[in-house]
Amino acid sequence: MANEVILLDVWASSFGMRVRIALAEKGVEYEYKEQDLQDKSPLLIKSNPIHKKIPVLIHNGKPICESLIIVQYIDEVWNEKSPLLPKDPHQRANARFWADFVDKKIYDYGSRIMWKKGEEQEEGKKGFLDCLKLLEGELGEKPYFGGESFGFVDVAFLPFSCWFHSYETCGNFSVEKECPKIIAWLERCKEKESVSKSLLDPQKISEFVVMLKKRFGVE
Ligand code: GS8
């Protein structure tokens, strides 16, 4: 059967970027359909009726929702190239644990740094840096989170790095100063074409954040 792959996405979404990295890593061709979240398309609503959120992958007419679930689906379907999850059940569980940790913590603290002020922003900054330090500890001296090869946790975490510059500007701190190993890991990952072509320019994200702040009247 021919593989028809469609991705419903929004250019600046870290969740969407996860899927773009995984598809690029596997060498899967797909049709990209940019979505307008202010005016959701019937296709998005039909494909993700529960959350009505991007990203959604539509594979041969069947939708898959939630970025981490999509990345695992991609890994299972296109399993002959670049495995993302390890084979060993304990290592798999560990990879899922850290991807879930990124999901639950990084986005939330990052958002607090960007959109809140005063005490709430400080809490966001502290929470964010504490999480980065835990991730740095998990990475240790390994080249990638899963060990010698690029994998699931790298895919889950990498897109948030495009927002680091915005977090740093809003929260007045430096990730490189606080967590140099995370930046070294990021640079290492960017040597891969699947990553460099899927990640967005942090400057473009910063301009987007400034535009959003103006639109929503956030100083
Ligand atoms: C999160 C997707 C999400 O927040 C995942 O795929 O991992 N847990 C999900 N998507 C946002 C855009 S990115 O910030 C979205 O589609 N929002 C639309 C809405 O909330 O109405």
Q: How far is the CA of 53 from the centre of ligand 1 (A)?
A: 5
Question: Mean pLDDT of residues grouped by 10 in the chain (219 residues)?
Answer: 90 96 98 98 98 98 98 97 97 98 94 93 96 97 97 98 94 96 97 96 92 84
Regarding whether 174 and 99 lie in a shared domain, the answer is yes
Query: Model-level pTM?
Result: 0.96
Q: Note whether 154 and 191 are within 8 A (CB).
A: no
Give the ranges where the chain is alpha helix by DSSP (H). 14-26, 42-47, 67-77, 89-101, 107-115, 118-139, 152-157, 164-171, 175-178, 180-190, 193-196, 202-215
Q: Cα-flanking dihedrals φ and ψ of residue 19, to 5°?
A: -65, -40
Return the CATH number at 140. 1.20.1050.10
What is the predicted pLDDT for the residue at 218?
A: 78
CB 69 less than 6 A from any atom of ligand 1: no
Q: Which of 69, 3, 12 is nearest to 210 (CA)?
A: 12
- For residue 179, the enclosing domain spans 89-215
Contacts (Cβ under 8 Å, ≥6 apart) of 72 = 84, 85, 152
Among protein residues, the one whose CA lies closest to atom 16 of ligand 1: 53
Last residue of a domain, one of 77, 102, 129: 77
For 81, the token pair is 């190239």
CA angle 98, 103, 105 (to 5 degrees): 90
What is the predicted pLDDT for the residue at 58?
A: 98
Q: Note whether 176 and 161 are within 8 A (CB).
A: no
Regarding whether 106 and 58 lie in a shared domain, the answer is no
Closest atom of ligand 1 to 68 CA is 7
What is the predicted pLDDT for the residue at 1?
A: 55
CB 134 less than 6 A from any atom of ligand 1: no
Among protein residues, the one whose CA lies closest to atom 15 of ligand 1: 53
Regarding whether 149 and 121 lie in a shared domain, the answer is yes
CB 40 less than 6 A from any atom of ligand 1: no
Other residues' Cβ atoms within 10 Å of the Cβ of residue 119? 8
For residue 82, being part of any structural domain is answered with no
Regarding whether 192 and 152 lie in a shared domain, the answer is yes
Q: How far is the CA of 183 from the centre of ligand 1 (A)?
A: 26
Q: How far is the CA of 140 from the centre of ligand 1 (A)?
A: 30
What is the predicted pLDDT for the residue at 10?
A: 97
Return the CATH number at 26. 3.40.30.10
Q: Cα-flanking dihedrals φ and ψ of residue 9, to 5°?
A: -155, 170
